[in-house]
Amino acid sequence: MSSTYQGRRLPNPDEEVFDQGLGFDLGTLLGRRQVLRAFGVGAAAFGLAACGTESSDSASPASSSSTSSGEIPDETAGPYPGDGSNGPDVLEQSGIVRSDIRSSFGDSTTTAEGVPMTLELQIKDLANGGPAFAGVAVYVWHCDRSGGYSMYSDGLTGENYLRGVQVADDSGKVTFTSIFPACYTGRWPHVHFEVYPGQADITDSTKAIATSQVALPKDTCDTVYKQSGYEASVTNLAQVTLDSDNVFGDDNGKSQLGTVTGDVSSGYTVSLSVGVDTRTTPAAGAAPAAGGGPGGGGTPPSGGPGGTPPSGAPGGDGPGGTPPSGAPPAA
């Protein structure tokens, strides 16, 4: 007789499978329940409810995206928000309300190069039961393919690309045309965003009702970072995981991991459902715990932002090193 059953070692290899004891039987039953849940089969339909080992929570979907109806985790805006909270304020500038954020506007028309990316955020109003949160204004920003942030990094203080605002439509959706961001030292690849009650509120960062980040799936990052211009991201990504990241590490980015479709040649679409609850008090700008992320040292990719946050910045998000040239003075 085999000493294993379904890959599990038998406690009594000389006995039949049904004579292995209660502990082994329960383990086998639990394994079957997990298989059934994966196929969406109710446990009660198979007489398993009496076992008393099933959680009342449903199984999480096998997806790289959050389908949770819960509130999006409140995260740091980091040291490079450009929302006026630490100096530079793109939200006061005419032209910030736009869907295509690849180019700077105003005094510069520089276009950020990289693999095309469309970002879709579906905002839900949890305070009213979870319907579409139409009319809210969403501000997004992220680094370029070299790891640099416009308005802050060396050589980019005169740029404002990869920043923009959209107002959610009747379905609660906002869509941005952008490029896939880099992975810089100490941080998992991500996109920042803030949600405001409406377009009229974006000039006051204290009115944000949610501040969070979108995490990008590793398989997509691995593919994108093989492309020209992303060379430094290959090394940087190898040094960080979702678990070690100081923003996503508390739950491996479970509720912030975007769903991605597309390919390198035609571009990718990154989608995330964002639950916003106006009954809770936002803690935007609070720095994440030390360790495992920017601010913990390391050298950013060429052109990337410095690490110690600019004086007066929220902190906790930028790569290690000296502040970028042109960083805002202390507030």
Q: For the chain, how many structural domains are there in total? A: 2
Residue 299 located in a structural domain: no
Decide if 265 is inside a domain: yes
Coil, helix or strand at residue 173: strand
**Domain assignment of residue 21, given as a range:** 4-51
Q: What CATH number does residue 116 fall under?
A: 2.60.130.10
What's the confidence (pLDDT) of residue 9? 56
Q: Is 152 exposed, middle or buried (0-12, 13-18, 19+ CB in 10 A)?
A: buried
pLDDT per residue as tens digits for the range 128-175: 999 999 999 999 999 999 999 999 999 999 999 999 999 999 999 999
Domain boundary among 257, 276, 295: 276
Contacts of 63 (CB under 8 A, 6+ apart): 259
Are residue 34 and residue 152 in the same domain, yes or no?
A: no
Residues 39, 188, single domain; the answer is: no
Cα–Cα separations (whole angstroms), residue 34 to 27, 37, 58, 76: 11, 5, 11, 36
Burial of 310 (0-12, 13-18, 19+ CB in 10 A): buried
Same domain, 15 and 106: no
Name the domain boundary from 251, 276, 301. 276
Q: For residues 213 and 216, what is the distance between their CA atoms, to the nearest angstrom?
A: 10
Mark whether 28 and 106 lie in a shared domain. Answer: no
**pTM of the prediction?**
0.71
Alpha helices (runs of H) in the chain, residue ranges in sequence order: 22-38, 218-224, 231-237
- Residue 317 in any domain: the answer is no
For 227-268, what is each residue's pLDDT tens digit? 999 999 999 999 999 999 999 999 999 999 999 999 999 999
Same domain for 101 and 197: yes
